[in-house]
Amino acid sequence: MVSISFPADDFYNETKAKIFLQFYDQTAKVVLNQFMEATWNYVTNITRKNQEEMLHKDMERSQFMIYFGIRACLFKVAQFQDQDVKRMLRKLQNRQGGPAQGRAAGELEEVMATSRNKEELLWAWQGWRDAVGRQIRTTFEHYVELSNKAAQLNGYKDMGALWRSKYESDTLKQDLELFQELRPLYLNLHTYMHRALHRHYGPELIDLRGPIPAHLQGNMWAQSSVNILDLVLPFPKKIPEDVTKIMKGQHWKSEKMFADSEKFFTSLGLLPAPPSFWKKSMLTRPTDGREVECHTSAWNFYLDDDFRIKKCTEVTIEDLLSIFHEMSHIQYFLQYKNLSIIFCEGANPVFEEAVGSVITLSASSHKHLLNIGLLSLKHQDSGDEDQGPKPGAAARARWGQGSRAKLWEDPRGRLLTVLTLFPEDEKVFDGTIRKDIYNQEWWNLRLKYQGLCSPVPHSAEDFDPGAKFHISADVPYIW
Ligand SMILES: [Zn+2]
């Protein structure tokens, strides 16, 4: 157990703060490393014993963070000169254990992705919202109150203000308005989708002058339309090149997929993954009978150049691109590893994922796929790529397989952002959005930013935002 004694006020001066931070840096490395190691051992070998060990280390880590978090609050940061010291203390004050993340909805998601039957789609869409959203409405109201209390104890007006503080930007709201620059493109895509869905589902379901019902885009949250490319891809008679088939034909192995990704980074003058990465990572599903958790992730062990990826790689183009994404995390870990452990994370909550997205987009470019022999010039139509309105086979192959498909994703994060972040706009945490209109406001925002509507009337009894993982699991999210 941790016991804390509080010395006199003048003890907490700037010199002491620097010593305190140094001490934190050294000890946190060990504590976090042990926690990561125990978690890794569990997810790559699921046994009762490993689970107990992980939970034990998790508790140690929580106590450790609480201990340092409370102490960090005692320093009178406002009078300090050193900006880094101030920033580190502020970050430490906000640091908590971090929520455990989980996933559900599996089978219903599958229905949303594959069914083209409007009744079945509505059944899955509505079923998920009844089972999850509605059920947590009152809990969510309570959560808002408790979150605000916690934020106020940390010196913030409400939890929204605490979340915004992580971006360390006085112009966050204006920064997010960059979305407006993309809006014309989004509107074009929206109109195109609208027409394609109208073609398939007919005028009784799709009103071309109204919004798109939210259950038809192949995704439970209408946040991506990749799964309905068969309905919307232009020139349906032209079959896109099947890159996965090409990979299999060329006898690609998971080793080659990772090696190619490594080559991509080093060719840009970036860092190679250290030898231990190749030794300690789990790059394919083990064949020794161990039960493992296959969810793809990149891991920082905070000690001795120890960075790993856990992935049950299959030879597909999706997995190849996902490897580039994960290797971007490894690259980012490598780039910041010499900083204080307090700074060993993305520059703000979205930056690290953004790096991964940029690299993946680049890796999936026509030029790169051509370079690594996964697309052939003979499939490239005249007028392909950048010129001409007609996408050629190569461009269509990529569209169909995940890169440009990114464009089909909706600005859902924008929605959650508005709900939680903006003091001037409608807001949840400061109470501007009252709890009896949570759901109504949610749909107002979905209409405004996504051009979507609920397929059936929903009332204040429903709580549709709660059907999205990040809202029910307390994960602030701009994207
Ligand atoms: Zn990622």
pLDDT value for 349: 77
pLDDT value for 416: 43
Give per-residue pLDDT as tens, 340-384.
999 998 888 778 888 998 899 899 888 899 999 998 765 555 444
Angle between helices 83-94 and 48-74 (to 10 degrees): 130
- What count of Cα atoms within 13 Å lies in the side-chain half-sphere of residue 476? 21
Task: Write the single-letter amino acid at 405.
Answer: A
Whether residue 104 has pLDDT greater than 80: no
Question: Average per-residue pLDDT in the chain?
Answer: 83
Residue 29 CA, ligand 1 centroid: distance in Å: 22
Residue 79 CA, ligand 1 centroid: distance in Å: 38
Mean pLDDT of 116-121: 94
Residue 319 CA, ligand 1 centroid: distance in Å: 13
Residue 172 CA, ligand 1 centroid: distance in Å: 22
Residue 320 CA, ligand 1 centroid: distance in Å: 14
Tell me the H-state helices in 337-411. 351-363, 366-371, 393-400
Q: Please give the backbone phi and psi of residue 310, each rounded to the nearest 5 degrees, phi first.
A: -115, 120
Mean pLDDT of 136-140: 88
Structure tokens at 319: 């997995």
pLDDT value for 311: 95
| 162 or 40: which leads in pLDDT | 40
By percentage, how much of the chain surpasses pLDDT 70?
A: 84
Residue whose token pair is 């003979």: 378
Residue 166 CA, ligand 1 centroid: distance in Å: 19
Cα–Cα distance measured from residue 117 to residue 125, given in angstroms and rounded to the nearest whole number: 12
Residue 296 CA, ligand 1 centroid: distance in Å: 9
pLDDT value for 385: 43
- Helix H or strand E segment including 325: helix 317-336
Residue 304: which region, alpha, beta or left (left: phi > 0; alpha: psi -120 to 50)? left
Give per-residue pLDDT as tens, 296-317.
999 999 988 999 999 999 999 9
Task: Write the single-letter amino acid at 40.
Answer: W
117 CB-contact burial (10 Å; exposed 0-12 / middle 13-18 / buried 19+): exposed
Whether residue 399 has pLDDT greater than 70: no
Range with lowest mean pLDDT among 25-29, 190-194, 356-360, 386-390: 386-390
| 2 or 441: which leads in pLDDT | 441
Cα–Cα distance measured from residue 299 to residue 306, given in angstroms and rounded to the nearest whole number: 9
Considering only CA atoms, which of 11, 221, 257 is closest in space to residue 105? 221
Range with lowest mean pLDDT among 221-225, 364-368, 413-417: 413-417
Whether residue 446 has pLDDT greater than 60: yes
Give how far Cα 70 sits from Cα of 5, 64, 90, 174, 331, Å.
11, 10, 11, 33, 32
Give per-residue pLDDT as tens, 167-195.
888 888 788 777 788 888 888 988 999 99
Residue 270 CA, ligand 1 centroid: distance in Å: 18
Q: How far is it between the farthest Cα atoms of the chain?
A: 78
Residue 100 CA, ligand 1 centroid: distance in Å: 16
| 236 or 461: which leads in pLDDT | 461
Considering only CA atoms, which of 194, 195, 224, 246 is closest in space to residue 405? 224
Strand runs (DSSP E) across 215-358, as ranges? 297-300, 307-310
